[in-house]
Amino acid sequence: MLAPESSLPPDLLVKALLRLLLLALLCSGALAAEPRVALVLGGGGARGAAHIGVLEVLEREHIRIDCVAGTSMGALVAGAYAAGMRPAQMREALLSADWLDMFLDNSAYSELDYRRHQLDRLYFPGAELGVGPGGTLLGKPGMIAGQNMKLFFNRLLGADLGEPQIERLHLPLAIVATDIGSGERVVFRDGSLPLAMRASMSVPGLLDPLDYRGRKLVDGGLVDNLPVMEARALCNADTVIAVEVGTPLLPSEQVNSLFGITAQMIGILTKQNVQQSLAQLRPQQDILIRPDLEGFSAADFARNTEIADRGRAAAEAMQAALQTVAVPVGTYARWRQEFSPLQQAMLPIDAVEVAELRRVNPEVVSRHLRIRVGDEPDAARIEADVQRIFSDGYYQSVDYSVVNTRDKRVLRITPIEKPWGPDYARFGLRLDSVIGKQSSFSLRGALHQTWLNSLGGEMLYEGEIGQTSSAAVSWY
């Protein structure tokens, strides 16, 4: 018995057969779409250097990341990664960074003018208190302002060629901070990348909060130290790779100081929200990487190479799980190329602007600027100018940004005047000792009023009590 002949022309018959074959392959999963992968980098201070080692393994295994979220030190690494930095570049940047200098706000002694030299010789530098209405004493919001830290972020991200904006990055990014006024979680999905990193790393009591869009922002670890759900929602991820590097709580016998109690309180809040995030991971789909960081504290920035190696080892131990979301070499290479940092042209600066100030005369700021209109932007020269401005002592911080508009490049200098000024109480100690003779000491105090006129006039009321007692008033 002969089969009936097909009524379809041969070319249409071939197309129909190909469609049926394609449908069968799709149903069998042979052409299933590659999984969307979100990366979560948790906070942990210096322990966050482990993220770099993890990224090295992800790069080696060709793990394509579709979005990334980070908190605190994880925000620093996540931001640099989303901006196109390779793990090897991050490792080198952390190795070469002067971490001691980064956590100090002191200006170079050579940059101080004669007036500042005299004040620092007589009174404790940086120990001033503000004097408000009615003689109310006002303290600083943190031990350090983070001046050098913010400049490091600028340098790391190449902000002298244009401040990176989160919404313009090729890799979707979310950075978590905390509103210290309301306790709300604040997520940066747009805006300045260096400022978002600075906000997320503002450890309460250590670093000044960041004033941003009407909020006072501090470390995101207080509310979401491991932002799993934020990352999953950011790119509708099928798989979340979470890297947890949080610092364990101190034993009760080691919590015996004000600083220790504060650190423990922050640690308790962080541990609680991390546990909630870990419960959101799906065992069959998501991957948790927990480096062995025993013996490393959140302050061990000088040991960042060792910590990065621990992160690498932890990721290698999860190699089998990571390979389930790996992509072919060619696919990974094309993806990597897509969000590599764009090479920006070295266009000259068309304008230099100084942000509006409440008390300080803008000419006092401009006199420190060595970079001029027509010069090419240069990070080292801009930073030197910024530090000279900061050395005047009138500012909580001084920052810069390079804004590229359609037809020109603008360098903006942003000095933030001290909110606890312009009047200060200063304190000092005088100790005279000669071998074989009697020693003497005295206590010094002063009321220092600044910016009494547009020329920067100052009054200094001084008193000294002890072996030698004196009083003086000077106008500058």
**What would the pLDDT profile of 427-471 be if each residue is shown by its tens digit?**
998 887 777 677 778 899 999 999 999 999 999 999 999 877 899
Distance between CA atoms of residues 326 and 283, nearest Å: 18
Whether pLDDT at 384 is above 90: yes
At 332, which amino acid appears? Answer: Y
Mutual angle of helices 87-96 and 50-60, in 10-degree steps? 160
Average pLDDT in the 406-429 region?
92
Cα-flanking dihedrals φ and ψ of residue 354, to 5°?
Answer: -115, 130
Same domain, 156 and 249: yes
Same domain, 91 and 190: yes
Distance between CA atoms of residues 279 and 282, nearest Å: 8
Q: What does the angle CA 11 – CA 15 – CA 16 come to, to the nearest 5 degrees?
A: 115
**Of 103-107, 122-126, 207-211, 255-259, highest mean pLDDT:** 207-211
Average pLDDT, the chain: 88
Q: 29 in a domain, yes or no?
A: no
Same domain, 378 and 242: no
Distance between CA atoms of residues 53 and 314, nearest Å: 9
CB atoms within 10 A of CB 36: 17
Q: 110 in a domain, yes or no?
A: no
Q: 154 in a domain, yes or no?
A: yes
Same domain, 195 and 325: yes
Same domain, 297 and 388: no
Distance between CA atoms of residues 266 and 271, nearest Å: 9
Domain count for the chain, please give it. Answer: 3
The CATH number given to whatever domain includes residue 90 is 3.40.1090.10
Q: 134 in a domain, yes or no?
A: no
CB atoms within 10 A of CB 263: 20
Q: Is residue 343 packed enough to be buried (19+ CB in 10 Å), middle (13-18) or exposed (0-12)?
A: exposed
Q: What does the angle CA 142 – CA 198 – CA 251 come to, to the nearest 5 degrees?
A: 60
pLDDT at 11 (0 to 100): 58
Same domain, 334 and 351: no
Which residue among 270, 304, 339 closes a domain?
A: 339
Average pLDDT in the 182-195 region?
96
pLDDT at 31 (0 to 100): 38
Can you give the residue range of the structural domain that contains 57?
Answer: 37-105+144-339
Whether pLDDT at 349 is above 50: yes
Same domain, 225 and 368: no
CB 29 within 8 A of CB 295: no
Q: How confident is the model at residue 134 (pLDDT cuts 50, 70, 90)?
A: confident
CB 205 within 8 A of CB 222: no
CA distances from 73 to 76, 145, 170, 339 (A): 5, 17, 21, 22
Same domain, 277 and 349: no
Same domain, 176 and 196: yes
CA distances from 403 to 91, 196, 371, 389, 408 (A): 28, 17, 16, 20, 8
Same domain, 148 and 280: yes
Q: 284 in a domain, yes or no?
A: yes
Cα diameter, the chain: 129
Q: 132 in a domain, yes or no?
A: no
- The tokens for 188 are 């940066």
Same domain, 280 and 358: no
Which residue among 339, 366, 396 closes a domain?
A: 339
Q: Give the chain's radius of gyration (CA, Å).
A: 28
Query: Of 33, 391, 396, 404, which Cα lies nearest the Cα of 210?
Result: 396
Q: What is the pTM of this model?
A: 0.86
DSSP string covering 349-382, please? P-EEEE---SSS-HHHHHTT----TTSPP-HHHH
User: Under 8 Å CB-to-CB from 358, ≥6 apart: which residues?
Assistant: 417
Q: 436 in a domain, yes or no?
A: yes
pLDDT at 38 (0 to 100): 98
- The tokens for 399 are 């920052």
**Of 6-15, 20-29, 57-66, highest mean pLDDT:** 57-66
Q: 198 in a domain, yes or no?
A: yes
Same domain, 313 and 378: no
Which residue among 339, 372, 400 closes a domain?
A: 339
Distance between CA atoms of residues 193 and 31, nearest Å: 37
* Residues involved in catalysis: 72, 219
The CATH number given to whatever domain includes residue 376 is 3.10.20.310
DSSP state letter for 199: H
Q: How confident is the model at residue 132 (pLDDT cuts 50, 70, 90)?
A: confident
